[in-house]
Amino acid sequence: MFRVPSAHCIPILLLAALVMSTPVRAEPPAPSPPSARFHRYVYYPARQVYYSTEQQIWFWKEGNGWSYGVHLPPRLRGKMGTGLPLRLATDRPFTAHAEVEQRFGEPWRARQRTLQDRDSALHEARHHDDDRDNSG
């Protein structure tokens, strides 16, 4: 004859079944060293702003420090210029900002100044030619 277990035995039986069905694992693999993990960003040198493509978070300068958020403050939106894709060995891009600025930001701004100077010179030359044509 089959006998139904008493109510106080049921939790013990369920726990035993759970323990017996749980696979035993060896130790988890060691985490990768921090320097081996690279994070992807887009750096906007015109505003000195980073965007984490993995975390979908913006990082920007705020006074003497840095802030972050899912949205940029209104004062930084617009006229972002071209973004430069970067891979950095940190999840806080501002810790590498001095190097990023030296390698990418400063040369980018120098190129922009050269382009603006060239455009200004072309604009002045056109107006000078127009003035000469209208005076004759």
Q: How far apart are CA 2 and CA 48, in angstroms?
A: 76
Q: Each residue's pLDDT tens digit in the chain (136 positions)? A: 545 555 555 555 444 544 444 333 344 444 445 556 899 999 999 889 999 999 999 999 999 999 999 999 999 988 888 899 999 999 999 999 999 988 887 877 788 878 777 767 777 777 666 666 666 5
101 and 48 in contact (C-beta within 8 Å)? yes
For residue 87 the two structure tokens come to 């891979």
Q: What is the pLDDT of residue 52?
A: 95
Enter the pTM of the model.
0.58
What phi and psi, each to the nearest 5 degrees, are found at residue 55? -90, -10
Residue 78 CA to its chain's centroid (Å): 18
Q: How far apart are CA 7 and CA 80, in angstroms?
A: 68
The full set of domain ranges for the chain reads 35-113
